[in-house]
Amino acid sequence: MQFDIMLDKYNRDINYLRVSITDRCNLRCTYCRPKEGISLKGHEDILSYEEILRIVSQAVKMGLVKIRLTGGEPLVRRGFVEFAAALKKIEGLQDISLTTNGIYLDRYAQAIYKAGITRINISLDSLKKEKYFAITGGGNLDDALRGIAAAEKAGFSPIKINTVAINGFNDDEVLNFAELAWKKPLQIRFIEVMPISDVNFGHPEKFLPMRQMFDIISSKYSLELSSEHKHRLDGPARIFKIRGGQGEIGFINPVSEHFCATCNRLRLTADGKLRACLLKETEIDLRDALKNRCDDEELARLICRAILSKPAGHDLNCTDRSLKKCHRDMSGIGG
């Protein structure tokens, strides 16, 4: 089967796949994993690198152009660099990026860059040691900062910093993050916390509106949405340049401003399920099909089925921020 583009029922071109390559993580971010812990998949339950390569190759033939590797923490999986290099060889795949907590970047940044991944998102929710330790369930801020420095040194561009915005936790650091974007060519992206699974941070009082962050930053810096940025394709983020500074500030508001109407993504979970919406439970089991030695035609059919199952939108909103009971948490789905 040969396709040029993959359109869903609502005429959206589904050309972006986020791949969770492992559900394991070296951190325990409180908004990502439930307090009581999660049951991790065994090695035999997750897709092998070969299986992921086959799925991506098939999807590229159907119109996929962009993927993001995520998890869990991608860099805890052995053989990551070689896997990245193999992905890079898939003809037609135009863009490969990585989301990581950065802890192991000091060790791997150069090799990953050489393997052909040049765009990176690094998660960082606090610039204060004790708070970073608390939110990540034991992480060391210095490791993450060393990771960011290693990414800069290796030449990654852009380097985006994912900062989950939580009222009462890091609202007092909004200006410090802005200062970082002013000093360095980093894009700081404030992400609204999503009330998924059994996380602690789904409560309405933890919600930090973009307007509030914008006003805090504007008290010191001038934010401008330049015409270049207005027209730039940057997924769901609203990006502002800091006047006189080197970096940018982005706001991603999956709860208060759904971007479902332009959603172009599918998600592949570590255990091989294709998920059409982060917040809907419908999943198509590709791993099972691969284990049963499906041919390319069957694989293509299953990918199409996932695309056609994509809903018009999710139902998170600001007034009802009750916890969303997905049967998986973010680390399982791949954030």
Name, in order, each residue with C-beta under 8 angstroms of 156's C-beta and a sequence gap of 6 or more: 109, 113, 118, 119, 120
Of 7 and 134, which CB lies nearer to ligand SAM in the complex structure? 134
32 interacts with ligand SAM by CB under 6 A = yes
Instruction: Tell me if 183 sits within 8 A of 249, measured CB to CB.
Output: no
* Residue span binding ligand SAM (CB under 6 A) among the ranges 79-87, 99-107, 204-212, 219-227: 99-107
Q: How many residues in the chain?
A: 335
25 interacts with ligand SAM by CB under 6 A = yes
Tokens 């509030």, residue? 212
Instruction: Tell me if 97 sits within 8 A of 265, measured CB to CB.
Output: no
158 preceded by a cis bond (ω within 30 of 0): yes
Torsional sign, CA 157, 244, 106, 189: negative
278 interacts with ligand SAM by CB under 6 A = no
Q: Which of 162, 170, 269, 309 binds ligand SAM (CB under 6 A)?
A: 162
123 interacts with ligand SAM by CB under 6 A = yes
31 interacts with ligand SAM by CB under 6 A = yes
CA separation for the pair 27, 141 (Å, rounded): 12
DSSP H or E run through 62: none
Question: Residue 44 has which token pair?
Answer: 């035999």
Of 55 and 208, which CB lies nearer to ligand SAM in the complex structure? 208
Count CB atoms within 10 A of the CB of residue 67.
Answer: 26
Q: Which of 22, 30, 58, 70 binds ligand SAM (CB under 6 A)?
A: 70
Of 96 and 290, which CB lies nearer to ligand SAM in the complex structure? 96
Q: Which of 196, 213, 268, 302 binds ligand SAM (CB under 6 A)?
A: 196
In the bound state, the residue with its beta carbon closest to ligand SAM is: 335
Q: Which of 38, 52, 188, 199 binds ligand SAM (CB under 6 A)?
A: 199
100 interacts with ligand SAM by CB under 6 A = yes
How many residues of this chain interact with ligand SAM, rule: CB under 6 A? 20
CA separation for the pair 21, 49 (Å, rounded): 8
Residues of the shown chain interacting with ligand SAM in the complex, contacts defined by CB under 6 A? 25, 31-32, 70-71, 73, 99-101, 123, 162, 164, 191, 193-194, 196, 199, 330-331, 335
